[in-house]
Amino acid sequence: MRRDLTDSMRERIASACAGKTPVSICGGNSKKFYGHPCEGETIDVSQHSGVLEYEPSELVIHARAGTALTDIETLLSQHRQMLAFEPPQFSSTGTLGGAVASGLAGPGRPFAGSVRDSVLGVGLINGRGDSLNFGGQVMKNVAGYDVSRLMAGALGTLGLLTDVSLKVLPKPASEYTLRQACSQQDAILRFAQWMAKPLPLSAACWFDDHLQLRLSGTETAVRQAQHQLGDTLLEQASGWWTAIRDQQHDFFQRQTALWRLSVPPATPPLAISGEWLIDWAGGQRWLSSDESAESIRRITASVGGHATLFRNGDPSTDVFHPLPAPLFKLHRRLKQALDPDGILNPGRMYKGL
């Protein structure tokens, strides 16, 4: 079903604004667990769907926010293209709007860019019920403040996304995975060395005393790199990377608190007890641990990173890393600029936003 529900969603937000009553924005409901639960009447965006424009030779796709990610990936795949940031699909219902609002990216992120790196433009409804457009369908656009990229990762607290334009990339001609036994410490060192070399890397992960590298490019390029790295080829590993991306891998099935630590990639292993899975060539570290939030956050911050309580957390703990006071004050003012009455997903990200 392809429908344009912009007007009805705009009316609902305008009346919520008038009555100062909160709304909770929902796409495919695949990331409901992410962030704090927020009050308010649900606005379901998933029915507002359909690809609006896609021309493979322009490397741009423009679609309504409720369009299923699976539909977008199927369409792109038919033209041998892809979303560079490899959005996680925690279930088959995930939408484009949810992928952008959550700002979550898969294993390719350090090599092909983040969600916001792919964003070219958005249509949004702000907290006043105004329907606005920022950015556009072109690669380069510096007219006005970059409101569209600001929406990536804002969890719907600054606006309801109605449509999004993304830059897409050609799929690599071939893809292979290398596997090699090594400690976490060695993996991080090797990742840093390889990242400084012009190798066709497209993912780098470590788990269970093995590192896994994904190489993407022309057949000959990948073979040449394999030679340089001198390891065994695993031909059929795309399923493994998808399992990491979508958290279907065994590591993610534990019941203990799951933390996402984002740190400078070359940071040596952190002294926090628990089980680790290292992704993004060291930059994104998944930790399954019972350690206290204070201690995890203190250690992560000491190396210049931040820690998110991703799943299975104690509901009274902040999900997102607390911000320094001056920065939080600016966040509040920015929230007020887009949503003066604080009705859009209040508290989903931080209390007071």
Partner 1 sequence: MNKTATVTEREDFIAGLGLPPHCILSEDSELRPYECDGLSAYQQVPWLVLLPETVQQVQSILGYCHQRKVPVVARGAGTGLSGGALPLANGVLLSLARFNSILDIDLDNRLARVQPGVRNLAISQAVAQHGLYYAPDPSSQIACSIGGNVAENAGGVHCLKYGLTVHNIAQLKVVCMDGELLNIGSHALDSAGYDLLALMTGSEGLLGVIVEVTVRLLPVPETAQVLLAAFDSVETAGHAVAGIISAGILPAGLEMMDSLAIRAAEDFVHAGYPHDAAAILLCELDGNRAEVETRISEVQELLTGMGARDVRLAHDDQERQKFWAGRKAAFPAVGRISPDYYCMDGTIPRKHLGKVLSTISQWSSEYNLPVANVFHAGDGNLHPLILYDANKPGELERTEEFGGRILELCIEVGGTITGEHGVGMEKINQMCVQFNEDELQQFHAIKKAFDPHGLLNPGKAIPTLARCAEFGRMHVHGGELPFPELERF
* Binding to partner 1 in span 126-155, by CB under 8 A: 126, 130-134, 136-147, 149-150, 152-154
Alpha helix stretches (DSSP H) within the chain = 6-19, 69-78, 96-102, 109-112, 115-118, 147-150, 184-195, 219-229, 238-245, 293-302, 325-338
Q: Which region among 35-43, 88-96, 113-121, 204-212 touches partner 1 (by CB under 8 A)?
A: 113-121
Alpha-carbon gap, residue 111 to 114, rounded angstroms: 9
23, 60, 96, 257: residue in contact with partner 1 (rule CB under 8 A): 60
Question: Considering the complex, what minimum distance in angstroms separates the CB of residue 253 from partner 1?
Answer: 25
Compare residues 33 and 320 and give the one whose CB is closer to partner 1: 320
Q: Which region among 15-23, 94-102, 230-238, 318-326 touches partner 1 (by CB under 8 A)?
A: 318-326
User: What is the three-class DSSP state of 117?
Assistant: helix
User: What is the three-class DSSP state of 210?
Assistant: strand
Question: Considering the complex, what minimum distance in angstroms separates the CB of residue 152 from partner 1?
Answer: 6
Range 236-295, binding partner 1 (CB under 8 A) = 262-266, 280, 283-284
Listed residue (36, 15, 154) closest to 97, CA to CA: 154
Residue 2 makes contact with partner 1 by CB under 8 A:
no
Range 319-348, binding partner 1 (CB under 8 A) = 320-324, 326-328, 330-331, 333-334, 336-338
275: left (phi over 0), alpha (psi -120 to 50) or beta: beta
Q: Which region among 9-17, 40-48, 58-66, 251-259 touches partner 1 (by CB under 8 A)?
A: 58-66
Compare residues 227 and 253 and give the one whose CB is closer to partner 1: 227
Residue 117 makes contact with partner 1 by CB under 8 A:
yes
Range 3-42, binding partner 1 (CB under 8 A) = none
Compare residues 93 and 182 and give the one whose CB is closer to partner 1: 182
Residue 109 makes contact with partner 1 by CB under 8 A:
yes
Residue 351 makes contact with partner 1 by CB under 8 A:
no
Compare residues 75 and 254 and give the one whose CB is closer to partner 1: 75
Alpha-carbon gap, residue 151 to 132, rounded angstroms: 13
Range 153-172, binding partner 1 (CB under 8 A) = 153-154, 158, 169-171
Number of chain positions touching partner 1 (CB under 8 A): 86
Distances (CA, A) of 132 to 10, 34, 102, 125: 10, 26, 20, 6
Sequence-separated (6 or more) residues with CB below 8 Å from residue 14: 128, 129
Alpha-carbon gap, residue 209 to 274, rounded angstroms: 14
Range 195-214, binding partner 1 (CB under 8 A) = 195-200
Distances (CA, A) of 271 to 105, 296, 298: 26, 9, 11
Compare residues 25 and 68 and give the one whose CB is closer to partner 1: 25
C-alpha 321 chain-centroid distance: 16
First to last CA, the chain: 34
